[in-house]
Amino acid sequence: MKRAIFPGSFDPLTLGHYDIIKRGITLFDELVIAIGINAEKKYMFDLEVRKQFIVETFKNESKIKVMTYKGLTVDFCKKVEADFILRGLRNPADFEFEKAIAHTNRSLSEIETVFLLTSSRTSFISSSIVRDVIRHGGDYTGLVPEIVRVP
């Protein structure tokens, strides 16, 4: 079985994440959406809300599991017996950042990182941009899946 994890904070889930997840499930037998917990980080949405956004969005996708984890991503991969990490790339800066992480993860374990380029229609979307739009009362409905569109 080819199992991959798609790690992130998903604060909140965006249409960019959605695009990578939908395309990723065509490549793997199972995709674990892994919500990382970082006590140092201040989140806009609490963990259970973020998890619920993802569970509801993909409730009809049998190949998707949603889990949370603390610590190193490679340790979580070992725990769930994943052989791949799935990551999305929006731009050259993402590539440089993700490349360094992939090399580090590879040096710590046998894990392979698979990169997918985001689609052109979602390549500008990031969770931090969405949070900024929400904070300032802007219309963020075209940036997130329907379930994330909270009043």
Catalytic residues: 17, 41, 90, 127
Cis peptide before 12 (omega within 30 of 0): yes
Known binding residue 122? Answer is yes
Residue 41 annotated as part of some ligand binding site: yes
Q: Is 131 annotated as a binding residue?
A: no
Q: Is 87 labeled as ligand-binding? A: yes
Q: Where are the beta strands (DSSP E) in 1-137?
A: 3-8, 30-36, 64-69, 84-89, 112-117
**Residue 126 assigned as binding residue:** yes
73 marked as part of a ligand binding site: yes
Report how far residue 111's alpha carbon sits from residue 84's, in angstroms, rounded to the nearest whole number: 6
Binding site annotation covers 68?
no
Rg of the chain on CA atoms, in Å: 15
Pick the closest to residue 106 from 73, 80, 81, 79 (CA basis).
Answer: 73
Q: Which residues are annotated as a binding site for substrate?
A: 9, 41, 73, 87
Q: Which residues are annotated as a binding site for ATP?
A: 9-10, 17, 88-90, 98, 122-128
Q: Which residues are annotated as a binding site?
A: 9-10, 17, 41, 73, 87-90, 98, 122-128
